[in-house]
Structure 1
Amino acid sequence: MGKKILFLMGFVILTITANGQTQRIDSTAVFLLHRTGETLQDIKSCSFTAITTYDVPNEILGLIKHTINDKVSIKFPDKMKVTSSGDKGNRGLWYNGKKLNYYSFDNNTYGFTTAPGSVIETIDEVSKKYGIEFPGADFFYPSFLQDLLSEQGNLIFLGKTIVDGRECFHIAGSDKTKSFQFWIGNDELFLPVKLVIIYTSDKDKPQYEALYKDWTTNSDYPDSMFEFTTPPKATKVKLAPRENTK
């Protein structure tokens, strides 16, 4: 009841001037994203579908949009499975708390790397080292909201709207390199529904968009679900680190 009253009291926009720049922080936007973070830190497991589109520059045609469909299952603190289809091919990732397995359904090839002891640490390490992206990863970081506010940008609540048939709270913000928008479900869990990022510092201003749907929380997933079994005649390959990693 107290949290609902806090929200219904309305919002306050804080105007902060630092280094000659004005920062606008909306308390309702902060409250909503904080509730999203609370949910994702408290749940024991979850699954969702992420449909992402992203822009790739083309010298002749300009920005070309590509799409990936990811099905994600996570059992905290140390289990995850992701299967992907779309413009980057059909592939899967299995993390069992000790190693991360990668499999290409298109090429029947697989590889693996040792991994840290938690989902968040694994996402962080593998994305930096191998350039493997995990849909919706930012929302699961305990420091997500703090990191967002530390960029000294803006964060504003825009009201309610409908996305994919669901009523959502609409939040927008910006910092020195990008603008972004969040749509958070108007329900008890405050789960993410949609995310848009526009990289404004890039001359082409490419966009990244993700729609999150089919959320399930606190299901009792068996550990075997996150174990990878090598398919018949699959070829082992070495995962190649991305260039210029430190």
Structure 2
Amino acid sequence: MQPEAVAALEKMGRYLRTLKNFTVHGDSTIDVVTEDGQKLEFPGTIDYKVRAPNGLHLEMKTDRKQREIFYDGKTLTVYGPKNKLYASTDAPPTISALLAAIDDKYGIELPLADLFLWGTDRAPSSALTSAVFVGPARIGGSVTEQYAFRQEGVDWQVWIEAGEKPLPRRLVITTTDDPAHPQYASTLTWNTSAALKDAAFTFMPPKDAQRIKLVEVDVAAAQEASP
């Protein structure tokens, strides 16, 4: 546990919590492990528009799936552009509360959710079992410092921009409690002074869209049933 690595993570978290209006684009890859153990990689993109504390729009695109999530501080809407189906439900008043509620109630975990958890008591450094400074690196033209961390079930790396804006520029997460060790990786591009309007966070259903119900799940039972 190198103190400078823990300090860098905490500094990044504090800075992220100061951001009020921002967008972040992620060029991502995710590993999917087949039943016979073969690991497949799927590329995709993630785009967030965020207005703290109660505005969020997420657009996820891969060759296999597209999803949009709208949140305006009162209502959460999940929309599938390909099949024109959407579901809406009442939502808590903050992004932080939203993340916990939709995970517990609907089993929905947003990609790169750590961007909203670092610097809060939901991402304590006490959960780390290892923290190491790897060295300097350049990501997308930005000078960064690479760090490697470990905690139960996960190894992860983050490349933090050097200087006064310690933004995470790349994130790699390896699931260690799966024998195949699947990875998720994303390289991030930020705009920390985005001009965002209310309409960005409000879902307006297309004329041919059909509303469905967002079904609650028993997360604990699902975890017990999984192999």
TM-score norm. by structure 1 comes to: 0.82
8 Å contact from structure 1 (residues 101, 228) kept in 2: yes
Is 1:79 aligned to 2:55, yes or no?
yes
Question: Which runs of 5 or more residues in structure 2 are unaligned?
Answer: 222-227
Q: Give the Cα separation in 1 of the matches to 2:100 and 2:73.
A: 14
Q: Give the Cα separation in 1 of the matches to 2:176 and 2:138.
A: 26
8 Å contact from structure 1 (residues 128, 245) kept in 2: no
Amino acid at match of 1:227: T
Residue 199 of structure 2 corresponds to which residue in structure 1?
224
Structure 2 SS opposite 1:240 = coil
Residue 44 of structure 1 corresponds to which residue in structure 2?
20
**1:1-246 to 2 correspondence within 5 Å?**
25-60=1-36, 62-141=38-117, 143=119, 147-213=123-189, 215-245=190-220
Return structure 1 stretches of 4+ with deviation > 4 angstroms.
Answer: 142-146
Question: In angstroms, what is the RMSD of aligned CA positions?
Answer: 2.1
Percent identical: 27
Q: Give the Cα separation in 2 of the matches to 1:78 and 1:161.
A: 34
Residue 196 of structure 1 deviates from its aligned partner by: 1.1
Structure 2 SS opposite 1:220 = coil
TM-score norm. by structure 2 comes to: 0.88
Structure 1 SS opposite 2:219 = coil
Residue 171 of structure 1 deviates from its aligned partner by: 0.2
8 Å contact from structure 1 (residues 56, 64) kept in 2: yes
Q: Give the Cα separation in 2 of the matches to 1:183 and 1:80.
A: 24
Amino acid at match of 2:179: K
Q: Give the Cα separation in 1 of the matches to 2:97 and 2:203.
A: 20
Question: Which runs of 5 or more residues in structure 1 are unaligned?
Answer: 1-24
Q: Give the Cα separation in 2 of the matches to 1:146 and 1:101.
A: 24
- Say how many residue pairs are matched: 221
8 Å contact from structure 1 (residues 69, 85) kept in 2: yes
Q: Give the Cα separation in 1 of the matches to 2:63 and 2:107.
A: 16
